[in-house]
Structure 1
Amino acid sequence: MRAYPANWLYEEMAFIAHHFHWSHADLVSLEHRERRRWCREISRINRTLDGVPANPFDV
């Protein structure tokens, strides 16, 4: 089993913390799948607010 790269973990945690202001303890308690899900949801919200299509090939 490969370890999840630490820099990716920190990027995901910083991304969620920036948007939701969650504590370090809250962030490290998230399971990988849940943390990735929150990142996808935040990204979806940001795309919607910015008027960017979910699929960049949609015109």
Structure 2
Amino acid sequence: MTTYAPETLRSEIAYIAYHFHWAHGELLDLDHVERRAYLRQISTINQRLSERA
């Protein structure tokens, strides 16, 4: 099992929770690869929205 910095995990969880409004437990249940995929998707969505503005 690979672990990484708690601050990185908190940052990822906060970012997804802010945008998707998912519960803390649901986010902790995501594996690293899945959580990173959601981070990329949110980033893409935000980028598209800012280009339209």
TM-score by length of 1: 0.81
- The percentage of aligned residue pairs carrying the same residue is 46
Highest Rg: 1 or 2?
1
1:40 paired residue number: 40
1:9 paired residue number: 9
Which of the pair is proportionally richer in helix? Answer: 2
Structure 1: runs of 5+ lacking an equivalent: 53-59
Root-mean-square deviation (Å):
1.7
* Higher relative contact order, chain-length normalized (CA < 8 Å, sep 6+): 2
1:56 paired residue number: none
Across the two proteins, how many residue pairs are aligned to each other? Answer: 52
